[in-house]
Structure 1
Amino acid sequence: MRNMVLKALDYRTNQPVCMEIKNGFISSVTACQQKINSGLYIAPGLVDLQINGYQGIDFNKRGTNIYDIKKITQILFEKGITSYYPTVISNSDKATESLLTIIALACETFPEINACIGGIHLEGPFISPEDGPRGAHGKQFIKAPDWELFSRWQEAAGGRIRIVTLSPEWPESYNFIKRCVNSGITVSIGHTAASPEQIKRAIKAGATMSTHLGNASHAMLPRHLNYIWEQLASENLWSTIIADGFHLPDSVLKVFIKTKPDKSILVSDATSFAGLPAGSYSGHIGGDVELDATGRLFMKYNPNLLAGSAQSLLWCVNQLLQKNILPLPEAWDMASVKPTESLYGSVTNSLQAGNPADIVIFKKNKNNIEIIKTIKSGEVVFSGLDKN
């Protein structure tokens, strides 16, 4: 592990800084005395709390192996992502156990993967069975929260399940949430048809997050008393948001972010179809789906229903910048330091001495960010300069 010195513009202040990295950690960050003409920015690596796959590799497809997971990790480095949470959605009990086992095996086999996977996000099957809130999850897999079943899955995952998305409409959810929280697991409310009272009860039990707020919901809701308003109003819940330009209108994005400027997080919800050309595809998420030329991913036989995202977390950051919804520091923080703060109660990956050297160097062309270099634990894992 080599030491290095990086000189670039601090993404927060636009001022030149010198960062010294030793033994995989940031040892110092100081103001640079000389002028920097490169136009390069330095920032914490991106952290994706919800990603189902990328470029043909699917965390939800049986047959995916540890080398596929190694490959997707490298692909994500190219997008500036230094930490991610593979997301396993509703499936059969046996398939879920098998998928979790493969992710755990990849972490145990490759130290670099173990360093990048912050945990596993279990999205379902303890969600709403209703059309709309269920989203693209198969109805045949949906069930009430079951601690014994979850414990078997957690064992298969080697204790790596870190986030659980569920709907508190199930009578069993209250005690299940409490047991998760007592085990150090973040509980996120999502894919829900719960009443406002059920939402409040879940928060009382310890739920602290909302999964892709505003999506996976009914097309029509009561104008005042509904599960979206109730989650948005709660000061205890972090809102995760898909800002890919398709999941939420710009006006809704603005309202969500303004309501919770300090507790809003970007997630990609990227599927295995992200990074692929437009066309017809089939997979566990949504079954038969279409990816159109604009990048919108939807269910083939129900075009009004999205089937996850086909875009990266970096794309989402760029959307906020291009549409002038947020300036660079705030947009980047929503995809880098805010995710870790939501999980651990404090920021652990900012540009400060003592933090792990999970760093990206990027340049900005107008309002579009291009990753130049990604550094994980003090090692260069991607260099766009090598491709020139």
Structure 2
Amino acid sequence: MSAGSVVARHYQTRQPVTLTWSEGRITAIEPATRPPAQDVWIAPGLIELQINGYANVNYWSLPLSTEDLTTSMRCLRRDGVSRILLTLTTDHWPQMIAKLKAVQAARKQSPEVRAAIAGFHFEGPFMSNVAGYVGAHEPHKMIDPTAAHIRELRELTGSDPVLLTMAPERNGVIEAIRLAASLGMRVSMGHTNASKEVIAAAIDAGLSAYTHFGNGIPQAIDRHDNILWRVLQFPSVTLGVIPDGVHVSPAFFRIIHRMVDPKKLYYTTDAVHPGGMPPGTFKFGDMDMVVGEDQVVRKPGETNFSGSALRPLEGVFRAVEMLGCAWQDAWVRFSQQPADFMGMGELLAPGQPADFCLIDHDANAPTTVRSYAGGDLRSTLPAAARMRSAGIEVAAKT
């Protein structure tokens, strides 16, 4: 691991700072005595709270080897991501536990994998099995939670950050939320059609977020009373949003940002294993799925979404494109704000991993993003909402 320092403008304060690192960790960040020689900015690596696979490595398919996870983590680091909550989606409970144990074994074997996987997001199996709300999950695998389920997850994850997505209307969920919160887990609702009263009870028990807001719902909903309107009545709820311009339309994306406290938003790709890969056909178990130019996964010939293949870095710049905002305002929603939500602390601070990005500017606009992990340069990519159109197929350096 390298040691070094860099002078750049801080993405939030806009002031010049000197960041110093040694042995893979930040040792100091202080006001700079001089401005940077070039128009370069520093921002933390991205924090991804919902990711089901990447670089053609499927996190919910066994066997899951240390080598595969290492490849996937290196590609995420290449694409600007510092740490993730590895996401395990709905399956029969013994299979979910087996997958969790396989990932934990890989983390024990590889410091590199352990550094990249900060914790876990369990999206299921405690969600709605109703058509439309179940989304791409398998309805027959949904179950009601018990205290034993929650305690088993806490035992197997230790002190790692954990995010649970549940449907509050299921039997036993309110009690499960209260227990999970008492054990230091974050609880989010998703794939749900809970009533306003049930949502209020869930929040009182410790629920604090909504998973991929605007998704996991039917295409046609009641215009007067629906899960979106109910959730928006609770300003304490943090919303996760997919910023690809497809899962949430640009118009609705802008409306969300006008209605919700900006500090109560975080971005996520919700990527599945074709994430970061070029368009094409990919295997999902025994099925073929197609990734289009829009980086959305669909069944061949169908229009419904079955996942995302978005690069997180592209998500930042697509948000900029949709909102017409400064890139710094979008970046914080894919880095510090998800970190704050999960209790990870200030990212650009002494003691934290030296995972950061240097954003080069030309004529006051971002041109390239240089991604560092542990103080080592991992890639140089265009600051673009659509990297393929910028000439990138699969980012080169891993």
Code of the aligned partner of 1:359: F
**Equivalent residue, structure 2, for 1:279:** 280
**CA positional deviation for 1:15:** 4.3
**Equivalent residue, structure 2, for 1:226:** 226
Q: C-alpha separation between the residues in 2 aligned to 1:72 and 1:209?
A: 27
Aligned partners of 1:44 and 1:351 also within 8 Å? yes
Cα gap change, 1:85/1:309 in structure 2, threshold over 3 Å: closer, same or farther?
same
**CA positional deviation for 1:363:** 2.7
Q: C-alpha separation between the residues in 2 aligned to 1:188 and 1:43?
A: 27
Aligned partners of 2:150 and 2:179 also within 8 Å? no
Q: Decide which moves more: 119-128 or 191-200.
A: 191-200
**CA positional deviation for 1:55:** 1.6
Aligned partners of 2:123 and 2:165 also within 8 Å? yes
SS in 2 for 1:384: strand
State the Cα RMSD in Å.
Answer: 2.4
Using the size of structure 2 for normalisation, the TM-score is: 0.88
Q: Decide which moves more: 219-228 or 208-217.
A: 219-228
**Equivalent residue, structure 1, for 2:105:** 105
Q: C-alpha separation between the residues in 1 aligned to 2:34 and 2:153?
A: 53
Residue deviations 1:102-121 (CA, integer Å, cap 9, x gap): 11111111122222212110
Q: Does 1:31 align with 2:32?
A: yes
Counterparts of 1:299-378 in structure 2, within 5 Å, are 299-300=299-300, 303-344=302-343, 348-353=345-350, 355-364=352-361, 370-376=368-374
Q: C-alpha separation between the residues in 1 aligned to 2:287 and 2:60?
A: 12
Counterparts of 1:150-161 in structure 2, within 5 Å, are 150-158=150-158, 160=160
Cα gap change, 1:53/1:332 in structure 2, threshold over 3 Å: closer, same or farther?
same
Code of the aligned partner of 2:345: T
Unaligned runs of 5+ in 2: 382-395
Code of the aligned partner of 1:361: L
SS in 1 for 2:308: coil
Q: C-alpha separation between the residues in 2 aligned to 1:90 and 1:26?
A: 41
Cα gap change, 1:125/1:34 in structure 2, threshold over 3 Å: closer, same or farther?
closer
Q: C-alpha separation between the residues in 2 aligned to 1:362 and 1:181?
A: 37
Cα gap change, 1:369/1:299 in structure 2, threshold over 3 Å: closer, same or farther?
farther
Cα gap change, 1:107/1:294 in structure 2, threshold over 3 Å: closer, same or farther?
same
SS in 1 for 2:220: coil
Aligned partners of 2:210 and 2:239 also within 8 Å? yes
Q: Decide which moves more: 224-233 or 150-159.
A: 150-159
SS in 1 for 2:49: strand
**Equivalent residue, structure 1, for 2:389:** none
Q: C-alpha separation between the residues in 2 aligned to 1:234 and 1:212?
A: 16
2:378 to 364, 374, 382: 382
Cα gap change, 1:14/1:158 in structure 2, threshold over 3 Å: closer, same or farther?
closer
Q: Does 1:45 align with 2:45?
A: yes
Aligned partners of 2:84 and 2:118 also within 8 Å? yes
SS in 2 for 1:305: coil
Residue deviations 1:77-106 (CA, integer Å, cap 9, x gap): 111111101100001222211110111111
Q: Does 1:298 align with 2:298?
A: yes
Cα gap change, 1:158/1:58 in structure 2, threshold over 3 Å: closer, same or farther?
farther
Cα gap change, 1:325/1:230 in structure 2, threshold over 3 Å: closer, same or farther?
farther
Aligned partners of 2:135 and 2:217 also within 8 Å? yes
Percent identity between the two aligned chains: 26
Unaligned runs of 5+ in 1: none
Q: Decide which moves more: 213-222 or 365-374.
A: 365-374
Code of the aligned partner of 1:126: F
Code of the aligned partner of 2:320: L
Q: C-alpha separation between the residues in 2 aligned to 1:281 and 1:367?
A: 36
SS in 2 for 1:168: coil
Q: C-alpha separation between the residues in 2 aligned to 1:35 and 1:289?
A: 46
**CA positional deviation for 1:313:** 1.6
Q: C-alpha separation between the residues in 1 aligned to 2:89 and 2:346?
A: 27
**Equivalent residue, structure 2, for 1:81:** 81
**Equivalent residue, structure 1, for 2:270:** 269
Residue deviations 1:213-247 (CA, integer Å, cap 9, x gap): 11010222222332212222212211000011210
Q: C-alpha separation between the residues in 1 aligned to 2:314 and 2:188?
A: 23
Q: C-alpha separation between the residues in 1 aligned to 2:224 and 2:169?
A: 18
Q: C-alpha separation between the residues in 2 aligned to 1:154 and 1:121?
A: 12
**CA positional deviation for 1:172:** 0.8
Q: C-alpha separation between the residues in 2 aligned to 1:326 and 1:102?
A: 41
Q: Decide which moves more: 169-178 or 106-115.
A: 106-115
Code of the aligned partner of 1:263: K
SS in 2 for 1:214: coil
**Equivalent residue, structure 1, for 2:18:** 18
SS in 1 for 2:315: helix
Aligned residues: 380
Q: C-alpha separation between the residues in 2 aligned to 1:64 and 1:271?
A: 15
**CA positional deviation for 1:22:** 4.1
Aligned partners of 1:45 and 1:359 also within 8 Å? yes
Q: C-alpha separation between the residues in 1 aligned to 2:67 and 2:80?
A: 20
Aligned partners of 2:131 and 2:218 also within 8 Å? yes
Q: C-alpha separation between the residues in 2 aligned to 1:368 and 1:232?
A: 33
Q: Decide which moves more: 207-216 or 258-267.
A: 258-267
